[in-house]
């Protein structure tokens, strides 16, 4: 009995110890409790005030990714002709909830993965739409910043001056590039004309007609259009006279006519009558109109935002070279104009024939004038030609220097600035319309010019040169 009881007690103790160990195995020590770990969701970068560009762009398969800070963003880029992806896209801005940047060729590309909430502003060049611009898309044209809301209306608040950080050293350095380029464009024909063999003079005629096309396009596409933009700027308000731009252009045209007609009369009264005097006066009026225009170009070039400044500079570089070529060919031709005998020559020499005069009398009178004119025939000296060329080459850099000095105060949307720029652009347009259409175009082709009796080959090439000048300068009008 005792033995049986002892065995039962031993078995009971063994069972209790086993149960205790089994129960303990389901308990975890207090210090080993697992605390849930929360992983932060990825946050998309926001388009803050520093969002001006994306860089280090690379292509992975069919997708393009660029870096904005440390974030990698996808950029929707269409296929290029070379298949290469630009390393950088600048001028980043927002359209609503979508973000865009501008490529080197001026095309917009969409940037994915960039939050536009609470964005404060866009890029340095003024192409921003949210934040401080209140949902507007801003751009530069003719050196003046224009802001458009998504509804297509301009904001009155944007008429105030905006503070920008301008790259002054870049502007100062490119000032000298403009100076050298302008001088090469205007002085090249002056040095080329005396050394060009006689059989290649037709090349010079084609260059002159190219220059004529450049001046015509400058007057209509550049100056007239820019003046119209100034006078229709919302910051100026609504003009009481809608034809203000056209009226001022007409005044500039009449001014050019008055100056040239008066100068011709004075030259014929106090000096011997010669085609040389007429040419000098015509070229002087042409240069006056170009100088007005070039001064404004220099000012408006440097006040553009940094991102747009580089693009505008390249356009102005070609603009100045083409204008210099147009002016240089006319300066070089002073004293070398081949006079055409007959009725058309009367326009160039100021001869007025009476309707009752017989053909023999007209020819005799023309022959006498031809002899007198040959006696007085002379070419403008090389120092004087280079002086005229230097005036053109210097005026745009002078305008740039003025613009650099006024960067901290310039406001392109100030009403007084708009009126001043618009008036000068319109007056310059009128002057150049008179010179290019009457003196250059009609003078060369109809009124005693070198193309009156030109052969079919020279006439065709000259016509192509004229059209090429118009087309190329009109093309540059997309940017400047």
pLDDT score, position 23: 42
Most confident among 28-32, 319-323, 336-340, 381-385 (mean pLDDT): 319-323
| H helical segments located in 218-305 | 225-231, 244-270, 275-302
Q: Is 425 exposed, middle or buried (0-12, 13-18, 19+ CB in 10 A)?
A: buried
pLDDT score, position 34: 44
Q: Which residue has the higher pLDDT, 134 or 210?
A: 210
Q: 114 by DSSP, 3-state: which?
A: coil
Q: What is the rounded end-to-end Cα distance, in angstroms, of the chain?
A: 121
Report whether pLDDT(454) > 80. yes
Q: What's the CA gap between 221 and 223, in Å, rounded?
A: 6
Secondary structure E strands in 17-70: 53-60, 63-68
Tokens of 305: 């935002």
Mean per-residue pLDDT of the chain: 74
| H helical segments located in 164-231 | 168-195, 201-217, 225-231
pLDDT score, position 242: 86
Q: Which residue has the higher pLDDT, 248 or 61?
A: 248
Q: What's the CA gap between 73 and 67, in Å, rounded?
A: 6
Tokens of 202: 């037709």
Q: What pLDDT digit, counting tens, does each position of 169-210 carry?
A: 999 999 999 999 999 999 999 998 888 887 788 888 899 999
pLDDT score, position 7: 54
pLDDT score, position 406: 86
Q: What pLDDT digit, counting tens, does each position of 81-98 carry?
A: 456 788 888 878 777 677
**Are the C-beta atoms of 156 and 235 separated by less than 8 Å?**
yes
């Amino acid at each position: 009995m005792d033995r049986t009881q002892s065995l039962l007690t031993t078995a009971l103790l063994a069972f209790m110890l086993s149960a205790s160990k089994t129960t303990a195995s389901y308990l975890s020590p207090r210090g080993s409790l697992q605390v849930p770990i929360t992983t932060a969701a990825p946050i998309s970068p926001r388009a803050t005030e520093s969002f001006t560009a994306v860089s280090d762009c690379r292509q992975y398969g069919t997708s393009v990714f660029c870096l904005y800070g440390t974030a990698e963003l996808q950029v929707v880029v269409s296929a290029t002709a070379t298949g290469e992806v630009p390393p950088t896209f600048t001028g980043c801005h927002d359209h609503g909830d979508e973000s865009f940047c501008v490529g080197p060729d001026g095309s917009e590309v969409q940037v994915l993965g960039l939050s536009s909430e609470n964005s404060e502003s866009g890029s340095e060049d003024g192409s921003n739409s949210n934040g401080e611009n209140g949902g507007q898309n801003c751009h530069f044209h003719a050196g003046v910043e224009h802001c458009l809301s998504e509804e297509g209306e301009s904001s009155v608040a944007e008429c105030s001056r905006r503070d920008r950080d301008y790259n002054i050293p870049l502007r100062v350095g490119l000032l000298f590039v403009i100076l050298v380029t302008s001088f090469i464009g205007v002085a090249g024909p002056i040095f080329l004309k005396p050394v060009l063999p006689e059989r290649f003079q037709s090349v010079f005629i084609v260059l002159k007609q190219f220059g004529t096309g450049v001046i015509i396009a400058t007057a209509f596409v550049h100056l007239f259009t820019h003046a119209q933009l100034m006078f229709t700027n919302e910051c100026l308000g609504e003009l009481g006279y809608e034809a203000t731009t056209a009226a001022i252009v007409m005044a500039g045209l009449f001014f050019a006519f008055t100056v040239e007609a008066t100068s011709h009369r004075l030259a014929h009264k106090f000096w011997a009558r010669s085609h040389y005097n007429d040419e000098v006066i015509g070229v002087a009026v042409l240069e006056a109109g170009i100088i007005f225009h070039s001064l404004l170009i220099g000012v408006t070039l440097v006040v553009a935002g940094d991102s747009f400044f580089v693009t505008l500079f390249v356009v102005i570089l070609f603009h100045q070279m083409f204008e210099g070529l147009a002016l240089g060919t006319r300066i070089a031709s002073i004293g070398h104009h081949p006079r055409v005998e007959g009725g058309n020559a009367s326009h160039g020499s100021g001869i007025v024939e009476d309707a009752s005069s017989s053909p023999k009398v007209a020819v005799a009178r023309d022959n006498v004038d031809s002899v007198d004119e040959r006696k007085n025939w002379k070419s403008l000296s090389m120092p004087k030609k280079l002086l005229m060329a230097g005036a053109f080459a210097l005026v745009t850099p002078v305008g740039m220097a003025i613009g650099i000095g006024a960067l901290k105060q310039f406001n392109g949307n100030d009403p007084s600035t708009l009126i001043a720029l618009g008036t000068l652009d319109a007056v310059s347009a009128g002057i150049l319309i008179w010179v290019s259409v009457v003196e250059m175009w009609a003078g060369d082709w109809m009124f005693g010019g070198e193309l009156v009796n030109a052969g079919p080959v020279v006439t065709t090439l000259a016509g192509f040169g004229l059209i090429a000048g118009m087309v190329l300068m009109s093309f540059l009008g997309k940017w400047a």
